[in-house]
Amino acid sequence: MSPLQPPPLNTTTNPLPRPPNVTNPNSSQKTDTILCLHGYGTSSSILHLQLRALATALAEHNLHLAIPDAPFSVSAPGPGTLPAFADGPRPFRRWHTDATLAKLFGVSDQVVEEERGKVKEVLRESVKKVEEEGSGRVVGLLGFSQGAGLAAGICMDPELGGGVEFVVCVCGLYPALRLGVGEEKTDVGGRINLPSVHVLGARDGWKGQGVKIMEEYFVQEKVRMVECQIGHEMPSRPKDVAAVVNAVLEAWREAQEAQARQQC
């Protein structure tokens, strides 16, 4: 996996529409936003389509989804993209190279750090865009596949992880994509001390990696696991979507209750 030159920086955040019955133009209530991170060899446009059912359900609870594009392009589609998106939107994209894999493929530390810098720039701009557009604030992360590893990495980052209240990992790929050397914001035994939801596919060939992310990086008392009868893909059947939504709302409620206790 040799490093690829990034295209011009794209900080466009792909928003998913709210259903008409949710938006109230006379209401001053702002929706909170979950920043969604696509996988390797896919894109925000593809994840936008994959998340339609989940987005509609979460919008009923004033949770909005926003999806940035990763800054690096790849020529081939990644896991979970075929066959549905064989002719889908181009280019396919990826986040930064994992430091462990970089060593295996001879990618220099300098290139890894440069890629991390580009990714952090995209994430900063994505959060800023959400705030400027009046969509409330980014309260949570949802990562699919490689994006789940990035979500874990964000939670460990002192700068970007500060406002995160909960995290959702769907069919995660191990390891976490760290955003800095020695920069870890963890609270309990080196683990991420946030409510988390881990969606595993019973038929996912990479299921073991999702389990490893869940067990290695997150405080287990705050973990919620949802197993669906799917492969390496986003849940889309009504039963699965309902189970994921319930787990997300529970995690969000737990985060809000923890904040309320701290303010007392």
CA separation for the pair 61, 15 (Å, rounded): 16
Pick the closest to residue 151 from 256, 255, 74, 70 (CA basis): 70
CA separation for the pair 194, 169 (Å, rounded): 12
| CATH numbers and ranges of domains, the chain | 30-263 (3.40.50.1820)
Q: Cα 34 to the chain's mean position, in Å?
A: 8
Instruction: Render pLDDT for 205-261 as a digit per residue (tens, 0 to 9).
Output: 999 999 999 999 999 999 999 999 999 999 999 999 999 999 999 999 999 998 888
CA separation for the pair 113, 107 (Å, rounded): 11
CA separation for the pair 227, 247 (Å, rounded): 11
Active-site amino acid positions: 145, 204, 232
Across the beta sheet with 32-37, the strand order is 13-15, 63-68, 32-37, 138-144, 166-170, 196-201, 223-228
At residue 187, does pLDDT exceed 70? no
For residues 192 and 167, is the Cβ–Cβ distance under 8 A? Answer: yes
At residue 77, does pLDDT exceed 50? yes
Distances (CA, A) of 157 to 6, 151, 169: 23, 10, 17
If you average pLDDT over residues 35-64, what whole number do you get? 95
For residue 176, the model assigns a pLDDT of: 95
- At 105 the three-state DSSP class reads coil
At residue 25, does pLDDT exceed 60? no
If you average pLDDT over residues 35-56, what whole number do you get? 95
Task: State the DSSP string of 7-75.
Answer: -S----EEEPPPPTTT--TT--PPPEEEEEE--TTB-HHHHHHHTHHHHHHHHTTTEEEEEEPPSEEES
